[in-house]
Each structure stands twice: as structure tokens, then as C-alpha cells.
């Protein structure tokens, strides 16, 4: 009987270790093989007492409004939304702008100037343009790249730099449009994120 309990405990530990290893390997593959883009960021909050210092990051592409969005009649929190980003600006300059959003993954051909990012709907409401009196949805999305952990006691410094537009995020995007933070660029210097 005791040997069964020990065997069950060992199997449970192996299963937990396997799940953690699978998450780390999946993330490492995502970061290594995902298409790399650089996004502008907006700070939100610098501290989580249980997990150490981090900076919560917001993105201009997280809050969308206008006729470019195709939203179903009954949107719900957590609904997948596919945002088409287009590279704009001069050659060598990283500037990605949202040009379309839909609840259905668009058939965007793979190119250097366009990429599709999958987000999840947090909230939305109809927005009436006072100039045209037309109603368009406004929505807020999360992409899973809103938290960046930093060495202890450096979160507030990074938040200040972000407010000065001195921080950008390097993101790896896989074939399905899922994003992961690969690193950050602080005042022109790139810092890749550790996987552990």
C-alpha cells in the first residue's frame, strides 16, 4: 500500500515537471521561430507584491475604434479578435499600426509589411462620432504581452523611461498570431528576456 502511495506521488511530480517543461519548451520555440516585430508601449503599473517587480505595458494597438473593425452582433469578453498590423514608416523604422480587426482570422498574405496578431476582447461599446453622427465600435484588447518582469526595484525606473517613450517591446508572433515578449529596447539598447 505504501509503495502505491510513493509511486503515485512520483507520477504526480513527473506529470507536473512535464507540464512545466512543456510550457518552457513551447515558449522557447515560439520566441526562436516566431516572426519578430517591435511595438510602442504605454506603462500601466510597476509592482506585483507576490511575483516581484514588473512593468505592466499597454499598447496603442490594444485600444481600437472605427469602421475598420468587423465585430459580431454579440461580442463577449475573451472573444478572439484578429488584428491586422501594417508596417508604416521609413525603411528600417519599426512602426506597426492596426489597419483592420475581425472576429474571423483574415486571409492576409505573409509579407514584410503585414502581420496578423490575435488578441482577446476585454470590453467594447458603440462609439458615436460627433462629426459624422456615425456609430462605430470601440474596443480594448489583450494580447498576452502586457507584463514584463524586471530585476527587483527597477520597475519604477523602467516605467519612467516608458513614459518618456524610451522603451519599446520586441515581440515574437507565431503562425497563429499569438505573441510573446522576446525582449525590450530601452533608450535604443535591446535586452532579451530570460526564459527562466
Q: Convert the pLDDT of each residue in 53-78 to its tens digit.
A: 777 888 999 988 776 777 777 788 99
Q: Average of pLDDT values for 107-113?
A: 75
One domain for residues 53 and 124 = yes
Q: Which of 11-15, 31-35, 56-60, 102-106 has the lowest mean pLDDT?
A: 31-35
Number of domains in the chain: 2
One domain for residues 52 and 29 = no
Contact 126, 135 (CB under 8 A): yes
Long-range contacts of 45-48 (CB under 8 A, 24+ apart): 46/155, 46/156, 46/158, 46/159, 47/155, 47/156
One domain for residues 59 and 29 = no
Residue 186 grid cell? 530601452
One domain for residues 107 and 156 = yes
List strands edge to edge, sheet with 179-186. Answer: 35-40, 167-173, 179-186, 189-192
Give the three-class secondary structure for 12: helix
Using a 10 angstrom Cβ sphere, with 0-12 exposed, 13-18 middle and 19 or more buried, the burial of residue 137 is middle
pLDDT in tens, 122-155: 988 776 777 777 777 788 999 999 988 777 766 6
Question: Can you give the residue range of the structural domain that contains 17?
Answer: 1-33
Residue 111 grid cell? 509579407
Question: pLDDT category, 196, cuts 50, 70, 90?
Answer: very low
One domain for residues 29 and 40 = no
One domain for residues 22 and 66 = no
Contact 176, 118 (CB under 8 A): yes
One domain for residues 14 and 68 = no
Dihedral (Cα; 32, 37, 40, 41), 10-degree rounding: -30
Task: With a cut of 90, say whether residue 31 has pLDDT above it.
Answer: no
One domain for residues 95 and 186 = yes
Q: Tell me how far apart the alpha carbons of residues 82 and 173 are, in angstroms, rounded to a whole number.
A: 13
Which has the closest alpha carbon to 68: 54, 52, 85? 85
One domain for residues 138 and 71 = yes
Q: Tell me how far apart the alpha carbons of residues 140 and 62 are, in angstroms, rounded to a whole number.
A: 6
One domain for residues 99 and 132 = yes
One domain for residues 42 and 80 = yes
One domain for residues 29 and 124 = no
Amino acid at each position: 500500500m505504501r509503495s502505491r502511495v510513493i509511486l503515485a506521488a512520483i507520477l504526480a511530480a513527473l506529470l507536473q515537471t512535464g507540464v512545466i517543461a512543456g510550457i518552457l519548451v513551447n515558449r522557447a520555440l515560439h520566441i526562436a521561430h516566431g516572426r519578430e516585430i517591435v511595438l510602442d508601449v504605454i506603462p500601466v503599473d510597476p509592482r506585483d507584491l507576490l511575483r516581484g517587480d514588473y512593468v505592466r505595458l499597454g499598447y496603442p494597438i490594444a485600444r481600437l475604434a472605427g469602421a475598420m473593425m468587423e465585430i459580431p452582433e454579440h461580442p463577449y469578453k475573451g472573444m478572439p479578435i484578429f488584428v491586422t498590423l501594417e508596417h508604416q514608416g521609413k525603411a528600417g523604422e519599426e512602426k506597426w499600426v492596426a489597419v483592420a480587426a475581425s472576429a474571423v482570422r483574415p486571409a492576409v498574405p505573409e509579407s514584410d509589411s503585414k502581420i496578423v496578431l490575435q488578441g482577446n476582447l476585454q470590453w467594447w461599446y458603440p462609439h458615436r462620432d460627433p462629426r459624422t453622427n456615425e456609430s462605430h465600435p470601440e474596443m480594448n484588447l489583450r494580447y498576452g504581452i502586457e507584463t514584463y518582469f524586471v530585476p527587483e526595484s527597477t520597475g519604477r525606473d523602467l516605467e519612467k523611461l516608458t513614459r518618456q517613450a524610451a522603451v519599446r517591446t520586441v515581440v515574437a508572433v507565431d503562425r497563429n498570431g499569438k505573441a510573446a515578449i522576446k525582449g525590450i529596447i530601452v533608450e535604443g539598447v535591446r535586452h532579451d528576456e530570460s526564459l527562466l
